[in-house]
Amino acid sequence: MTEKINIVTLGCEKNLVDSEIMSGLVHERGYTLVDEKEEATVIIVNTCGFIDEAKEQSVNTILELAELKETAKLKALIVSGCLTQRYKEQLMDEMPEIDGIVGTGDFHNIVQIVDEAVRGSRPVWVGNPVFNYEEALPRKVSTPRYTTYVKIAEGCDNNCTFCSIPIMRGAFRSRSMESIVAEVGALAAQGVKEISLIAQDSTNYGTDLYDGFKLPELLNRVSEVEGIEWVRLHYAYPGFFTDELIRTMADNPKICKYVDMPLQHSEDAILKRMRRPGRQQDIRSLVKRIREMIPGVSLRTSIIVGFPGETEEDFERLCDFVREIGFDRLGVFTYSNEEGTPASRLPDQIPDEVKEWRANTLMELQRQLTSDRGSRYVGQVLDVLVERYDGRSDVYIGRSQYDAPEIDGEVFVRGSNVGIGEITKVRITHAFEYDLSGEELQ
């Protein structure tokens, strides 16, 4: 009997790409992929283990799906991803519901793992993560046909004191430029217009394979692929954000004027404890250069509040910094004490209720800033990638180059000749808290 497989993806876009490759591999093997979990004989849960909240969600999802062994057709429950890379012994010892596990560097062996799990052998494939996927591997893209993600590198060498990514994903390793461009070409042939380049540390791309930072060259080569209209960069590490990269983003019309650059904090003492590159003056200088060289750029960052030793004065100065810089988008995370990381051993840990208060305070500040910054688009004509139609409101909904899929704002478009998956020109008439609205240009 052919197994019916359902894959559940938790966590980030990098996990999504891994799931899509596993989907391609089991499909190539002849297994049937199903959308309904109740129809599956095998379920693969691709987990996140980055922070406590993600780990809790992963464990709860595993337990919930395991109930399908009693109520539906499920024969084997396989767990993959970051949680298994960190906790393989605990998972296998303490969760008999699991029929097999696979780490972040072994998911390309998923067909053999499925076969072994169905036979009841409880396979464990968790080795040192050194694997890097290539374009020859089959991949079943699950995002809308016009947009998708491409991983340009895996792992990280930065060793920030709060972060467990090097433990779960291994050392930094770039894919070859030829492999990336070939994959983008294949995706463009399927109708993809927007490529979002992702990695743990995108700006470090190429330093391990070539003679220096090669992200500017990669961006240009990806933009030259026929059919690609937008190239979007995520996870830019500030320490490697060179002027050459800024010029490339400014000069190439296909590269979105969008910078996703996690800064994590503003205060020098906290940045030093985090083992982050540079200090506040370096950050201010970099942001100034980006905005001067890329007029109209949309700047997204992420901030961690409640890091060990963060005083009330540190937090107040952080709020002042956020207010002064005026980020277009801001993600706020409370510090999560991750075992095995240097920060977990630091003194002056912050109580959870203080961390939550600081996160809520900073998000409220950013909400006001985002609303104010959106008003600058009113009266402008923006290219909008249309993603869906809302029949109740009789509007099309899409995004401009200044907003990434899933995490940022949207544009509500009124018009009659709008095509889903097409880029259309829209005159912006209103700005809301996070979103915009406008009229299609005839």
Residue carrying structure tokens 């904090």: 265
CB contact burial 201-233 (16+ within 10 A = b; e otherwise): bbbbbbbeeeeebbbbbbbebbbebeebbbbbb
Task: Name the token pair of 250.
Answer: 């400014």
Q: 10 Å Cβ neighbour count for 351? A: 9
Among 94, 105, 99, smallest CA distance to 59 is for 94
What is the rounded distance in angstroms from the CA atom of residue 115 to the CA atom of residue 120? 9
Supply φ then ψ for residue 368, to 5 degrees: -65, -40
Q: Is 156 annotated as a binding residue?
A: yes
Q: Is 160 annotated as a binding residue?
A: yes
Residues 6+ away with beta carbon under 8 Å from 70: none
Q: 10 Å Cβ neighbour count for 3? A: 19
User: Sign of torsion, CA 47 144 131 239?
Assistant: negative
Helix or strand or coil: residue 26?
helix
User: Sign of torsion, CA 378 383 385 388?
Assistant: positive
Cα-Cα-Cα-Cα torsion 41, 59, 107, 342, nearest 10 degrees, comes to 180
Helix or strand or coil: residue 361?
helix
Q: Is 12 annotated as a binding residue?
A: yes
Task: Name the token pair of 2.
Answer: 């052919």
Residue positions forming the annotated binding site for [4Fe-4S] cluster: 12, 48, 82, 156, 160, 163
Residue positions forming the annotated binding site: 12, 48, 82, 156, 160, 163
